[in-house]
Amino acid sequence: MKLIIGLGNPGIDYTETRHNVGYKVIDELLKNKFTKNILARKTNVFMNQSGKFVESQTSKYQAKEEDLYIVHDDLDIPLGDYKIQFGKGPKDHNGLKSIDDALGTDEYWHVRIGIDNRQGDSRPMGEEYVLQNFSDEEKVIIEKTIKEVCKKLETL
């Protein structure tokens, strides 16, 4: 059984932000019933406090590291791309730092969804950018990526 946890921020103000792409993957998994041998959960805390939620879920379901998949946004990957890697996350992500601290390890699956589509020299800082909504054009790209990720997670 795989435990897949999507990271994001709760509340209507964050629903369409780049930081909530983990929530969007979980929504898609549940909507399309991609849940055979999968427990899909969204955190119920803000991104930077994700560790306690993940720790409680891994304990509750007795999930081993090799069965834990954390779905999160990644500024190191361009919009439209994704990577699924064991023990490898972005170099600077406060949600993952919280999880690593709570679990005492970074050895779990990282489902890294690319969100970076910043252009030019006047690029917004990452902390600001992740809390912005996707543009209409970007929504088309990210929705396609989310569908691909869900299909991939179902076959792993």
- Per the CB < 8 A criterion, the answer to whether 50 and 7 are in contact is yes
In angstroms, the first-to-last Cα distance of the chain is: 11
Query: What is the SS3 assignment for 111?
Result: strand
Q: Which two tokens stand for residue 79?
A: 């919009």
Q: Are 19 and 48 in contact (CB under 8 A)?
A: no
**Placement of tokens 């970076």 in the chain:** 116
CB 46, CB 9: distance < 8 Å: yes
Annotation says 19 is catalytic: yes
Given the residues 19, 72, 93, 110, select the one marked as catalytic. Answer: 19
Q: HSE-up of 153 (CA within 13 Å, CB side)?
A: 39
Q: Which residues are catalytic?
A: 19
